[in-house]
Amino acid sequence: MKSSISSYSLRWMFLLVFACFIIISLLPSSHLDQDVVWLNIISLSAFAMLMTRLNKPFRETLWVWVILCVFCVGYFFKTLLIASYLDDADIINLINPEWGWLSAFSLSRGYYWITLAFVVFCVTSWLLLGTTKSVYLREKVIESKRGSYHRTMSFLLVITILSIFLMLLRVKLGIGIMGVQTDRLPFRMDTIIFRLQSYVLPVLFLLVVWVTERERWWRGWLMALACLLLYICLLSIVVASRAGLVNFALYTLCLWMVCGFLSWKRMSIVALMGSGTLAFFPFVTAIRGARMGGDLSLISSLQIATGQFGGVDWVEMMRFVANHIILRVGGADGVWFVQGYAPDILSADWGGQGSILDGVVGFYTRNIVGVTHAADFRSPGIIGALMLLGGFFGVVVLWPILLWLIHFIWTRFTRWNTSPVILATFACFLFGFMSEGTLQVQDFISMLIAAFLCEWCYQRLLINKRLPREHT
């Protein structure tokens, strides 16, 4: 199936986005220095250079597109949006009370760091993509293996039952649920249950979606999509997480892009999920508020949340939710906070924080943002985290090293039998990793374990070795 949406059309769309950034920064309402216009022109030029390497299939370049999206939404657009609200302190405080100190000077200063990081990203990615070899030979090897319909559907049934069991167990034990104190279980079983639900099960559901679509078992494909959607939505309600439909849209979008199945009809499904998110988001937000307001059960929280939507102005709510979702993509806020600390102060204070892995989020939350609540943390975003680690050195040296590592892992994943599923999962992981910048190695290890388990299940449980695919 040939994709109707190619990297060629997407390149020009992003070029138009950067042109819009230049126009917005020229408006008086932007409140930013005139230097920001030149910084946007530099960013546009850097992306134009990167465009020459983005004419390859998404299977080879999706990791670059993911980071581009984080930069556009979480850094450039967020800065320009907040700058337009500088005349109205009430709106800034409504969006985030911790941003009340922001000024045109601080936003303009942060734009220098953002532009520097973006130019380094474009140059490094341009060099790395020039070394990427074609993976079409590996695609032929994958196509030579045929799945078994009965095994695949049985596997879907098993992971669906397992997901329901783990969800009920999580509710019973109060593991990772908003407003509920988590008690440590022996052998870190609470962590195992959390990681299984957050990393392993979504990958296994996505594996079934890929196999059924590749084999054109359309009834099984619809069942797999429905199970994945139901699982993510129910999990979002149980743990009061507002990213449910967003995660489902990201998983399916990345899978279709990697496989070359992305068409305008499929994009309509993603758009439908986006519309559903606008309605789902405030509902889960109400559940979160109910859980934080007292020691309530899940049923009581649902009843309170449902009763809060009488007489609501849905148009105004949808507009507010859309802005809130966009601003949830982290990045620029970490730069705003970190840039105000001199490197010598960071070096002196950083030494008492212990290891980097344990200290980056805690140091940023307590020492820079100023949040002191024991169970409340802030994420610096990847550029903010690199600035914490090394300032200018972190952005110019550590950032290219990290990009090389991402490219290395990506190219290795293209050699796996389940590479479309693994690459889609890794792309979704990258989106959160770049947006949050927490540098939590345990998250990466969990993603790797999920990838290995996905490959093992495909090889041992889903392939029917007696029925090789016939080539015509």
What is the DSSP annotation of 71-132?
Answer: IIIIIIIHHHHHHHTTT-HHHHHHH-GGGTT--HHHHHHHHHHHHHHHHHHHHHHHHHHTTP
Angle between helices 399-413 and 381-390 (to 10 degrees): 130
Cα gap 144→412, rounded to integer Å: 20
Contact 68, 54 (CB under 8 A): no
Whether 444 contacts 425, CB under 8 Å? no
Q: Which two tokens stand for residue 53?
A: 């390497």
pLDDT surpassing 50 at residue 1: no
Token pair for 88: 């109205």
* Cα–Cα distance, 372 to 377 (Å, whole number): 9
| Residue 383 scores a pLDDT above 80 | yes
Q: Which range scores top for mean pLDDT: 22-36, 107-121, 137-151, 254-268? A: 107-121
Q: How far is CA 310 from CA 307, 313, 314, in A?
A: 7, 9, 10
Q: What is the pLDDT of residue 7?
A: 66
What pTM did the predictor assign? 0.85
Q: What is the pLDDT of residues 55-104, one digit of tens each?
A: 888 889 999 999 999 999 999 999 998 888 888 878 888 778 888 888 88
**What value, to the nearest 5°, has the Cα angle with vertex 285 and ends 279 and 286?**
95
Phi, psi of 391 (to 5 degrees): 60, -130
Q: Is the pLDDT of residue 16 over 50?
A: yes
Cα dihedral 368, 369, 374, 380 sign: negative
Q: Are 199 and 449 in contact (CB under 8 A)?
A: yes
The arithmetic mean of pLDDT across residues 296-308, rounded, is 53
Structure tokens at 124: 């490094």
pLDDT of the residue at 94: 77
In this predicted structure, the answer to whether residue 197 has a pLDDT above a threshold of 70 is yes
Least confident piece of the model among 91-105, 179-193, 313-327, 450-464: 313-327
Cα(264)–Cα(274) distance, integer angstroms: 15
Q: Which residues pair with 147 in a beta bridge?
A: 463
User: DSSP letter at 55?
Assistant: T
pLDDT band at 31 (very low <50, low <70, confident <90, very high): confident
Q: What is the mean pLDDT of residues 186-193?
A: 78
Is the pLDDT confidence value at 116 over 70? yes
The answer to whether residue 299 scores a pLDDT higher than 60 is: no
pLDDT, one tens digit per residue, over 434-472 is 998 888 888 889 999 999 999 999 988 887 665 544 433
CA separation for the pair 242, 329 (Å, rounded): 13
Residue 193: pLDDT band (50, 70, 90) is: confident
Q: What is the pLDDT of residue 194?
A: 82
pLDDT by residue (tens digit) across 144-173? 566 688 889 999 999 999 999 988 888 777
Q: What is the pLDDT of residues 209-229, one digit of tens each?
A: 999 998 889 999 999 999 998
Q: Which amino acid is at 240?
A: A
pLDDT at 6: 64
